[in-house]
Amino acid sequence: MVLPSDRNRKRDRVPSPFGKGGFLDDLFQDLEDSFFQTNSLGRFGNTDIYEKDGKLHYRIELPGLTKDQISIQAKNNQLIVSGEVERDEDKEDVNYISRGRRYGRFKQSFGLPEEVEDPDRLKARFENGVLHIQAELSESLTEEKAVDIEIE
């Protein structure tokens, strides 16, 4: 004998416009993104920044993008990654139940420490949805600097 369960009842329901992924959820998320000035793609890719072998590495996940959709600039001690993802056209023979992919412009800035030797020599490559950027360092970022201060 199979007893009715909440799981079975939930599966048969029509998606709610108020639930996660419903059009009202998307509307409020877009409003929140614009109010708090986050990038329009919502969560920018997962980002790792680390030092290795005298180089500073930025590793940014940008799944579903191509290198032609990404722009990188070094300006005012900032590394700026930006671009645009265009919205796919609606297909006439498809009845969407939910659309969770984001589109629009995105922009994210990362600090470039003063130890970066020459921002003009930054190197970047885009591979399997991951953007890799590296910069040469004049000295290690992890070494603690001590400055002696003279007492007057």
DSSP state letter for 140:
-
Question: Domain range holding 24?
Answer: 9-38
Question: pLDDT digit string (tens) for 22-79?
Answer: 556 655 655 554 444 444 444 567 899 999 988 999 999 988 889 999 999 998 889 9
Domain count, the chain: 2
* Same domain membership, residue 84 and residue 120: yes
Residues whose CB falls within 8 Å of the CB of residue 151, separated by 6 or more in sequence, listed in order = none
The Cα 98–Cα 148 span in angstroms is 61
Q: Are residues 68 and 111 in the same domain?
A: yes
Q: Tell me 143's DSSP state.
A: S
Give DSSP secondary structure letters for 52-82: ETTEEEEEEE-TT--GGGEEEEEETTEEEEE
Provide the 10 A C-beta neighbour count for residue 35: 8
Same domain, 116 and 136: yes
CATH number at residue 111: 2.60.40.790
**Shared domain check, 107 and 66:** yes
Residues 93-129: tens digit of each pLDDT: 788 787 777 778 888 999 888 888 888 889 999 999 9
